[in-house]
Amino acid sequence: MTMGRHVSVGQAPDLLTEYFGLTGVSHADLARAVGVSNPTMTNYLGGHRKPRDLIRRKIAAATRGHVPVPSWESPEDLAQIRAVKRLRKAP
């Protein structure tokens, strides 16, 4: 992925920024808590990368649900996930 490009992310970067403002927790502190580097957390905040599922769950836990796992998915991603689930249920 080329730096400077945004991936299709949902509301998670905005929710993280809001969380930092509400709690005073720094993004370096959260990065340490979930086991990623500071530059990686910066990429998540900037919408340049999406975390793996395990890290999404760790972020959700560390923020006490303020940044839920599904918030990393864009509306388009969520629509595709729902479509695949419907196809799997079809007889």
Residue 75 has pLDDT above 60, yes or no: yes
Identify the band that residue 1 occupies on the pLDDT scale cut at 50, 70 and 90.
very low
Q: How far is CA 46 from CA 64, 70, 82, 86, in A?
A: 21, 17, 26, 32
Place of tokens 């929710």: 15
Please indicate, yes or no, whether the overall pTM of this predicted structure exceeds 0.85: no
pLDDT digits (tens, 9 = 90+) for 17-36: 999 999 999 999 999 999 99
**Helices then strands, each counted (H, E), the chain:** 5, 0
Residue 8 — very low, low, confident or very high, per pLDDT cuts 50/70/90?
low
pLDDT, position 2: 40
